[in-house]
Structure 1
């Protein structure tokens, strides 16, 4: 009998690469690997490559400087695109490094009596991205034979810690930056609204211990190839015409520059521009108003931009007072005319929390601000009243492919809950890397797998839980993403089957819904045991507790419907027990102090509660006959 050919499948890499093709069967790494390290491979990149190999079972990693003509072991070549060994390895494997910033090539194949893996970066950031992709093509001691050529669609991709309420801890910031790096992001903007030394007391120096702790976060960002951007928010009290206030901004930035920060930001959002903070500004810029405010802001920003340019630190970023639309105004017209064209302008879309963002919207923003804008996407932030009691865990969606042509980048404003923000933020990162090939659902699952340490069962439990936190509110009454779409589809199918009174359809629908109820009831315990990021369970604890109760209530409701169809008198007891569980679930509150607005936690509200309440009336159950005398 002939031997079956070895079957290999294309691995999943997130964000989706520009180009990936299989080049042969997967290859065993073996116990020993030779690492050929060229110029351009920094310590963090080499450390990540070594960690991937060790996790895959490699026991011995030997470093050499030359790639032999015939391989006898697995050889891993890492370095910049111009190195001799890298060029040789690329030629042997068919890899090619794109001529784009942060571009990289990753190629692997059987060679001689061994295997060859090459990671080549157009720059140091690109090489680090290649190592993050290597992590995803190695599994169970083998590496997929692939040729990957990849680069980002948008220059800026990441997060802005820009919410109101409890800021993240320094440890959470470090963990978030490492998460950003895994999804090939390159930007973290430090701008918590409740950091008093960045906003209310922006003129005052940071305490030494706070500055030292920030320095450690900056060190992590630099190692992870993530740009730490420091933002100051002087708008509530600044006197634009006062040289002392400009000097105070310079002093604050100088202190952060001493920590290794090279990118800076001035936030002028959520302030009044119909009054001045000092009489001198009226003398300098005229009566308060939109045009005068823009002129004053441009004067400040241009001076800071000149400082950065002189230091070789690139562009300043700012968020304007009019940040959430593209409507022409005296403010935008003056800012467009007076602001140094090197200054990057942020924009939140067509609203503070927009339901969608189109290429046309972004083109209008480019016209309004006189440059491509950096999108501040207010998702999944939960610091406004409509989010009370909610985690926002729907996938990143309703942003149009092609935005990369009109934006300089996208950053997410996450929730106060750092780890729980990751399912949504991961989607934004994948979209900003490759908006044309972004797959909403597959990326959402990849984010679940990242939290689950690759365990598929835990990831499925997470996805069941995410579905109960799917709704995405706006500042209005209508959310821009629906609540619990997967669970709602099952409930709607059951309602329709009952309405049609089709016995077979009813049986199938209730079976499917019962299985979903069991999965939801079991998910919290699986999540607590299987999630590899401890902060997730801590942040979501009340919601996990409530979801378990709602899952059990749904199971009892399904059992009640089944019993009612069978004419069993115990149906009413099932419904009553379900109601008691929903009361307990509804009484669970969010964690005090964790968010700006607190209240009872919400789990599939409008879906589960409505169905459980309606269920007793969906089947008529005749009362049991009274016993005869």
Structure 2
């Protein structure tokens, strides 16, 4: 039976509107928590908050909470050792789940502790008690990143969040060719990784001579101290700083002196507080020995012999690390055959001999894989004899097919459920650190909760973060991201298309001009004009609005080119409007658009900023093609 409403719909909506406006809503959080349950009601922080800090809580974490509350408008923060029976203002209880005040606060809200490593429970009760309980110190810190997002709201919804990572290793590997990041880039990147709940940064720039060509030599004292400073910055952000060395081009695997040189390098870095190490054996010749004694030790050179030799060296280094530090994280290595999961003599030898504690990296089904499925990862597990750590070559832009590009599409085509077959994911970012954060936000969110990952929402969240919450700047950034959406492979076919949102509009313009009536043509040309203005205006909005000026600096030539392309598209829209009205001024508009398009196409990358210098690409194959085709879409008026 159909129910009949006795009031008009408009009256019902008007009646409901005030109540709806006051209802607490499910917050949008990045990465998506494993479980979020609204419990009814809301809490406003106001001017005064009481902070209940459990004994043993890291003072740096307490300082972060205080800063966070200050940014949210709280003016008075007092402290207490426990919750009172009745609270007269918001109380925030902070600590690990084994602390008595935290357990008492959780019990008060009827919530159990979480037991997952790096996990946390966050409860907001309608009486104003906020409890953040980390399973461990890392979990507490990750929970702070969730609370940081929540306190930006005018009121906090009463809720319970139970959250923990799907993958144990999540972060980035600075493993690209070309100009390495500066120390300031790395510091900012470590701060950023904390905000997306990543826990790993691998220092592996290909152009550090003391990590590759001069790997046997000691670092200069100043450089060693700088690496130690970065490791301390990482620790403060609950990120594991991993030092990687690339001895493969010259190492003699059977030479005790070379093994000692590796261990000596690691020992020196351990003296700077670095505890995690990595041996990179990628991009080397493995069919030829570097020394005669390897022939005596392992036989004639070849893939299988290389696998055996590498395993012997790595096992010895792993044993050394444990002898120096029994609690040391396991050694990580990237094999010479780091892509695909096909069975080979090299993989068989490595699998048979390599210490099972050692973590193996793998780039997927190719160097730049178009997709990665659960069966792909299972094949890698079988090939390497352990769950692999995915080295995802996205958004790295150090190969020829990426010349003139920033890779800023959302992270997609990695199958939900990969957390069951991977040890983690490390993104290989771009030479441009700040623009890399767009893709890395997605990769970190996927690694945290692949089952709950939403690519489009995470992409939008990355824009909001870069914009510092400025909605206009966030929208301008999304317009920019769309012009840098293409994701090339080593082949001719990209694994993500170029400018899908812009292309959809331009296709609609073409179709409407071809088949629509006069009002429809006028409407779609007006819409095109609006989009052209958005593209032309975006660079200035981004420069003024981004929270970190490094983004605008590192993306400068792309922003310059984008503005010019936007003006060219505006003139193109004017030409179409004139042509549609039979106005001969269309010819001049199209000519001016062509001239500006040529200017925009000539803008070049910052010399030396990337491995391959070249001209900037902005929605190439979409925007340029439309501007070139537009004069032929409507017949010129007959004079």
Task: Bin the TM-score by the shorter chain.
Answer: over 0.9
After the TM superposition, which residues 355-374 of structure 1 pair with which residues of structure 2 at under 5 Å, given as runs?
Answer: 355-374=370-389
**1:516-569 per-position Cα deviation (integer Å, ceiling 9, x unaligned):** 111111100000000011110110000001000111111111111111010001
Q: 1:3 Cα deviation (Å)?
A: 11
**Could you tell me which residue of structure 2 aligns to residue 51 of structure 1?**
67
Q: Does 1:314 align with 2:329?
A: yes
**Could you tell me which residue of structure 2 aligns to residue 376 of structure 1?**
391
After the TM superposition, which residues 204-603 of structure 1 pair with which residues of structure 2 at under 5 Å, given as runs?
Answer: 204-310=217-323, 311-312=325-326, 313-603=328-618
Q: Does 1:96 align with 2:109?
A: no
**Could you tell me which residue of structure 2 aligns to residue 604 of structure 1?**
619
Q: 1:52 Cα deviation (Å)?
A: 1.2
Q: 1:432 Cα deviation (Å)?
A: 0.4
**Could you tell me which residue of structure 1 aligns to residue 123 of structure 2?**
107
User: Which of 148, 153, 167 does residue 180 from structure 2 map onto?
Assistant: 167
CA contact (8 A) 2:103 2:113 kept: no
Separation (CA, whole Å) in 2 of partners of 1:352 and 1:485: 25
CA contact (8 A) 1:56 1:142 kept: no
Q: Does 1:25 align with 2:38?
A: no
Separation (CA, whole Å) in 2 of partners of 1:504 and 1:346: 58
- Number of matched residues? 621
Q: Secondary structure of the equivalent of 1:410? A: strand
Separation (CA, whole Å) in 1 of partners of 2:419 and 2:516: 51
Q: 5+ residue gaps in structure 1?
A: 625-629
**1:106-159 per-position Cα deviation (integer Å, ceiling 9, x unaligned):** 111232xxx111110111100001111000111255333221000000000000
- Is the deviation greater in 385-394 or in 70-79? 70-79
Q: Secondary structure of the equivalent of 1:437? A: coil
Separation (CA, whole Å) in 2 of partners of 1:180 and 1:596: 24
Q: Secondary structure of the equivalent of 1:482? A: coil
Q: 1:59 Cα deviation (Å)?
A: 1.2
**Could you tell me which residue of structure 2 aligns to residue 124 of structure 1?**
137
Q: Does 1:8 align with 2:8?
A: no
CA contact (8 A) 1:94 1:107 kept: no
Q: 1:40 Cα deviation (Å)?
A: 4.8
Q: 1:212 Cα deviation (Å)?
A: 1.1
CA contact (8 A) 1:39 1:80 kept: no
Q: 1:503 Cα deviation (Å)?
A: 2.7
CA contact (8 A) 1:230 1:261 kept: yes
Separation (CA, whole Å) in 2 of partners of 1:91 and 1:512: 56
Q: 1:104 to 1:40 in 2, by over 3 A?
A: farther
CA contact (8 A) 1:266 1:318 kept: yes
**Could you tell me which residue of structure 2 aligns to residue 86 of structure 1?**
102
**Could you tell me which residue of structure 1 aligns to residue 10 of structure 2?**
none
CA contact (8 A) 2:299 2:305 kept: yes
CA contact (8 A) 1:96 1:149 kept: no
CA contact (8 A) 1:95 1:148 kept: no
User: Which of 166, 190, 193 does residue 206 from structure 2 map onto?
Assistant: 193
Separation (CA, whole Å) in 2 of partners of 1:40 and 1:516: 55
Q: 1:94 Cα deviation (Å)?
A: 3.8
**Could you tell me which residue of structure 1 aligns to residue 8 of structure 2?**
none
Separation (CA, whole Å) in 2 of partners of 1:140 and 1:315: 41
- Is the deviation greater in 82-91 or in 502-511? 502-511
**Could you tell me which residue of structure 2 aligns to residue 627 of structure 1?**
none
CA contact (8 A) 1:93 1:147 kept: no
Q: 1:510 Cα deviation (Å)?
A: 1.8
CA contact (8 A) 2:584 2:637 kept: no
Separation (CA, whole Å) in 1 of partners of 2:330 and 2:633: 63
Separation (CA, whole Å) in 1 of partners of 2:169 and 2:179: 26
Separation (CA, whole Å) in 2 of partners of 1:90 and 1:571: 70
Q: 1:361 to 1:118 in 2, by over 3 A?
A: same
CA contact (8 A) 1:41 1:127 kept: no
Q: 1:497 Cα deviation (Å)?
A: 1.2
Q: CA RMSD in A?
A: 1.3
